[in-house]
Amino acid sequence: GQQLNQSPQSMFIQEGEDVSMNCTSSSIFNTWLWYKQDPGEGPVLLIALYKAGELTSNGRLTAQFGITRKDSFLNISASIPSDVGIYFCAGQPWTGANNLFFGTGTRLTVIP
Amino acid sequence: DVKVTQSSRYLVKRTGEKVFLECVQDMDHENMFWYRQDPGLGLRLIYFSYDVKMKEKGDIPEGYSVSREKKERFSLILESASTNQTSMYLCASRSGPERDTQYFGPGTRLTVL
Protein backbone atom coordinates (compact mmCIF):
# COMPACT_ATOMS: atom_id res chain seq x y z
CA GLY A 1 0.00 0.00 0.00
CA GLN A 2 0.93 3.62 -0.39
CA GLN A 3 2.95 5.23 2.36
CA LEU A 4 2.68 8.88 3.23
CA ASN A 5 5.69 11.15 3.43
CA GLN A 6 6.25 11.98 7.07
CA SER A 7 8.97 14.24 8.40
CA PRO A 8 11.16 14.46 10.24
CA GLN A 9 12.12 10.82 10.65
CA SER A 10 13.49 11.47 14.13
CA MET A 11 13.84 14.34 16.57
CA PHE A 12 15.91 14.88 19.68
CA ILE A 13 14.60 17.75 21.78
CA GLN A 14 15.00 19.21 25.23
CA GLU A 15 12.17 18.86 27.71
CA GLY A 16 9.93 21.91 27.48
CA GLU A 17 10.50 22.52 23.78
CA ASP A 18 7.74 22.49 21.21
CA VAL A 19 7.67 19.86 18.47
CA SER A 20 6.25 19.92 14.98
CA MET A 21 5.92 17.11 12.45
CA ASN A 22 4.00 16.75 9.23
CA CYS A 23 2.66 14.36 6.66
CA THR A 24 2.17 14.94 2.96
CA SER A 25 0.51 13.03 0.19
CA SER A 26 0.27 13.31 -3.57
CA SER A 27 -3.47 12.53 -3.35
CA ILE A 28 -6.37 14.23 -1.66
CA PHE A 29 -7.42 12.75 1.67
CA ASN A 30 -10.77 12.90 3.44
CA THR A 31 -9.54 11.94 6.90
CA TRP A 32 -6.26 12.36 8.77
CA LEU A 33 -5.47 10.45 11.93
CA TRP A 34 -2.48 10.89 14.24
CA TYR A 35 -1.22 8.06 16.45
CA LYS A 36 1.45 7.56 19.09
CA GLN A 37 3.13 4.21 19.58
CA ASP A 38 5.20 3.27 22.60
CA PRO A 39 7.77 0.46 22.27
CA GLY A 40 6.10 -2.95 22.22
CA GLU A 41 2.61 -1.48 22.26
CA GLY A 42 -0.11 -0.86 19.72
CA PRO A 43 -0.65 2.62 18.28
CA VAL A 44 -2.94 4.86 20.29
CA LEU A 45 -5.16 7.36 18.48
CA LEU A 46 -4.35 10.94 19.45
CA ILE A 47 -6.36 13.14 17.11
CA ALA A 48 -8.77 12.64 14.19
CA LEU A 49 -9.40 15.29 11.51
CA TYR A 50 -12.27 15.22 9.03
CA LYS A 51 -12.43 18.59 7.27
CA ALA A 52 -9.95 20.68 5.30
CA GLY A 53 -8.64 23.47 7.52
CA GLU A 54 -9.81 21.77 10.70
CA LEU A 55 -7.64 22.47 13.74
CA THR A 56 -8.11 20.14 16.70
CA SER A 57 -6.40 19.99 20.08
CA ASN A 58 -5.98 17.22 22.61
CA GLY A 59 -4.21 18.61 25.65
CA ARG A 60 -0.75 19.76 24.56
CA LEU A 61 -1.26 18.28 21.11
CA THR A 62 -2.67 20.21 18.17
CA ALA A 63 -3.21 18.86 14.67
CA GLN A 64 -4.43 20.48 11.49
CA PHE A 65 -5.93 19.17 8.27
CA GLY A 66 -4.25 21.09 5.45
CA ILE A 67 -6.33 23.32 3.20
CA THR A 68 -5.11 21.47 0.09
CA ARG A 69 -6.27 18.18 1.69
CA LYS A 70 -2.87 16.72 0.89
CA ASP A 71 -1.14 17.35 4.19
CA SER A 72 -1.49 17.47 7.95
CA PHE A 73 0.71 18.51 10.82
CA LEU A 74 0.97 17.66 14.50
CA ASN A 75 2.36 20.00 17.14
CA ILE A 76 3.30 19.10 20.69
CA SER A 77 3.81 22.01 23.03
CA ALA A 78 6.03 22.04 26.13
CA SER A 79 7.27 18.47 25.64
CA ILE A 80 7.73 16.16 28.62
CA PRO A 81 9.66 12.89 28.92
CA SER A 82 6.55 10.72 28.49
CA ASP A 83 6.07 12.19 25.00
CA VAL A 84 8.85 9.86 23.87
CA GLY A 85 7.66 7.40 21.23
CA ILE A 86 6.90 7.06 17.56
CA TYR A 87 4.24 9.30 16.09
CA PHE A 88 2.65 8.47 12.80
CA CYS A 89 -0.05 9.81 10.61
CA ALA A 90 -2.67 7.89 8.68
CA GLY A 91 -5.00 9.06 5.98
CA GLN A 92 -8.07 7.84 4.21
CA PRO A 93 -7.91 8.70 0.50
CA TRP A 94 -11.65 8.82 -0.14
CA THR A 95 -14.85 8.34 1.80
CA GLY A 96 -15.65 4.69 2.25
CA ALA A 97 -12.19 3.44 1.33
CA ASN A 98 -11.44 0.30 3.28
CA ASN A 99 -7.79 0.88 3.91
CA LEU A 100 -5.76 3.66 5.44
CA PHE A 101 -2.39 4.86 4.21
CA PHE A 102 0.25 5.29 6.89
CA GLY A 103 3.18 7.60 7.37
CA THR A 104 6.62 6.20 8.04
CA GLY A 105 6.69 7.62 11.56
CA THR A 106 8.59 10.25 13.53
CA ARG A 107 10.66 8.93 16.42
CA LEU A 108 10.67 11.51 19.21
CA THR A 109 13.27 11.56 21.96
CA VAL A 110 12.88 14.05 24.80
CA ILE A 111 15.98 14.82 26.81
CA PRO A 112 15.18 15.72 30.43
CA ASP B 1 -14.01 4.05 24.94
CA VAL B 2 -13.40 1.68 22.07
CA LYS B 3 -11.58 -1.43 23.12
CA VAL B 4 -9.67 -3.73 20.80
CA THR B 5 -8.12 -6.71 22.54
CA GLN B 6 -5.71 -9.32 21.24
CA SER B 7 -5.48 -12.78 22.75
CA SER B 8 -1.76 -12.77 23.46
CA ARG B 9 0.89 -10.10 23.94
CA TYR B 10 3.77 -12.48 23.30
CA LEU B 11 3.88 -15.81 21.51
CA VAL B 12 6.74 -18.16 20.71
CA LYS B 13 6.09 -20.89 18.17
CA ARG B 14 8.12 -23.37 16.20
CA THR B 15 8.49 -23.52 12.43
CA GLY B 16 5.64 -25.45 10.89
CA GLU B 17 3.18 -24.93 13.74
CA LYS B 18 -0.30 -23.60 13.08
CA VAL B 19 -0.79 -20.29 14.86
CA PHE B 20 -4.02 -18.49 15.74
CA LEU B 21 -4.10 -14.83 16.66
CA GLU B 22 -7.42 -13.61 17.98
CA CYS B 23 -8.79 -10.09 18.03
CA VAL B 24 -11.99 -8.83 19.63
CA GLN B 25 -13.58 -5.37 19.45
CA ASP B 26 -16.47 -4.12 21.55
CA MET B 27 -17.81 -1.26 19.41
CA ASP B 28 -19.88 -3.10 16.83
CA HIS B 29 -17.55 -1.95 14.05
CA GLU B 30 -18.03 -3.35 10.58
CA ASN B 31 -14.40 -3.21 9.51
CA MET B 32 -11.51 -5.09 11.08
CA PHE B 33 -7.89 -5.34 9.96
CA TRP B 34 -4.71 -7.33 10.54
CA TYR B 35 -1.33 -5.68 10.03
CA ARG B 36 2.22 -6.68 10.65
CA GLN B 37 4.80 -4.15 11.68
CA ASP B 38 8.51 -4.61 11.04
CA PRO B 39 11.40 -2.19 11.55
CA GLY B 40 11.97 -0.08 8.48
CA LEU B 41 8.88 -1.42 6.71
CA GLY B 42 6.14 0.28 8.67
CA LEU B 43 2.63 -1.11 8.89
CA ARG B 44 1.65 -3.56 6.18
CA LEU B 45 -1.89 -4.77 5.71
CA ILE B 46 -2.33 -8.54 5.67
CA TYR B 47 -6.11 -8.96 5.45
CA PHE B 48 -9.21 -7.02 6.28
CA SER B 49 -12.87 -7.78 6.72
CA TYR B 50 -15.82 -5.45 6.15
CA ASP B 51 -18.51 -7.80 7.39
CA VAL B 52 -19.07 -11.18 8.97
CA LYS B 53 -17.71 -13.96 6.77
CA MET B 54 -16.30 -11.38 4.33
CA LYS B 55 -12.58 -10.93 3.82
CA GLU B 56 -10.27 -9.14 1.46
CA LYS B 57 -6.57 -9.59 0.85
CA GLY B 58 -4.31 -6.77 1.81
CA ASP B 59 -0.79 -6.12 0.60
CA ILE B 60 0.92 -9.21 2.01
CA PRO B 61 -1.62 -12.07 2.41
CA GLU B 62 0.74 -14.91 1.47
CA GLY B 63 1.16 -17.42 4.27
CA TYR B 64 -1.86 -16.12 6.18
CA SER B 65 -5.59 -16.71 6.30
CA VAL B 66 -8.37 -15.10 8.33
CA SER B 67 -11.72 -15.94 9.82
CA ARG B 68 -14.63 -13.67 10.76
CA GLU B 69 -17.47 -15.79 12.09
CA LYS B 70 -18.80 -13.11 14.43
CA LYS B 71 -18.81 -9.36 14.00
CA GLU B 72 -16.71 -8.69 17.08
CA ARG B 73 -14.01 -11.27 16.39
CA PHE B 74 -11.39 -11.42 13.64
CA SER B 75 -8.80 -14.18 13.66
CA LEU B 76 -5.49 -14.37 11.84
CA ILE B 77 -4.17 -17.82 11.06
CA LEU B 78 -0.66 -18.84 10.12
CA GLU B 79 -1.17 -22.26 8.57
CA SER B 80 2.48 -23.26 8.87
CA ALA B 81 4.56 -20.70 10.69
CA SER B 82 7.92 -19.74 9.25
CA THR B 83 10.78 -17.71 10.71
CA ASN B 84 10.08 -14.81 8.34
CA GLN B 85 6.71 -14.41 10.02
CA THR B 86 8.38 -13.30 13.23
CA SER B 87 6.89 -9.87 13.70
CA MET B 88 4.60 -7.59 15.65
CA TYR B 89 0.99 -8.25 14.64
CA LEU B 90 -1.58 -5.52 15.10
CA CYS B 91 -5.31 -5.84 14.88
CA ALA B 92 -7.46 -2.79 14.20
CA SER B 93 -11.14 -1.98 14.20
CA ARG B 94 -12.71 0.87 12.31
CA SER B 95 -15.85 2.93 12.50
CA GLY B 96 -17.16 4.78 9.52
CA PRO B 97 -17.71 5.71 6.78
CA GLU B 98 -18.66 8.97 8.49
CA ARG B 99 -16.26 10.26 11.15
CA ASP B 100 -14.00 7.43 10.16
CA THR B 101 -11.66 6.42 12.96
CA GLN B 102 -9.44 3.37 13.32
CA TYR B 103 -8.40 1.88 16.66
CA PHE B 104 -5.59 -0.58 17.23
CA GLY B 105 -5.15 -3.41 19.67
CA PRO B 106 -2.07 -3.69 21.90
CA GLY B 107 -0.27 -6.01 19.48
CA THR B 108 1.06 -9.55 19.58
CA ARG B 109 4.80 -10.03 19.34
CA LEU B 110 5.21 -13.38 17.58
CA THR B 111 8.55 -15.15 17.46
CA VAL B 112 8.89 -18.21 15.22
CA LEU B 113 11.90 -20.38 16.02
pLDDT score for A27: 86
The Cα-based distances of B110 to A25, B15, B21, B92 in angstroms read 32, 12, 9, 17
Phi, psi of A34 (to 5 degrees): -120, 135
Residues of B in contact with A95 (CB under 8 A): 97, 100
Burial code of B19-48, b = ≥16 C-beta within 10 A, e = fewer?
bebbbbbeeebbbbbbbbbeeeebbbbbbb
Cα–Cα distance for residue pair A83/B93, rounded to 1 Å: 25
> B39 falls in which pLDDT band (50, 70, 90)?
confident
> B101 falls in which pLDDT band (50, 70, 90)?
confident
Residue in A40, A44, A104 nearest the CB of B42: A104
Task: Give the list of residues 6+ apart from residue A20 with CB closer than 8 angstroms, or none.
Answer: A73, A74, A75, A76
Residues of A in contact with B59 (CB under 8 A): 1
Phi, psi of A108 (to 5 degrees): -105, 130
| Cβ atoms of B2 and B25 closer than 8 Å | yes
Task: Give the list of residues 6+ apart from residue B70 with CB closer than 8 angstroms, or none.
Answer: B52
Residue in B42, B48, B99 nearest the CB of A105: B42
Mean pLDDT of A30-46: 93
pLDDT score for B108: 96
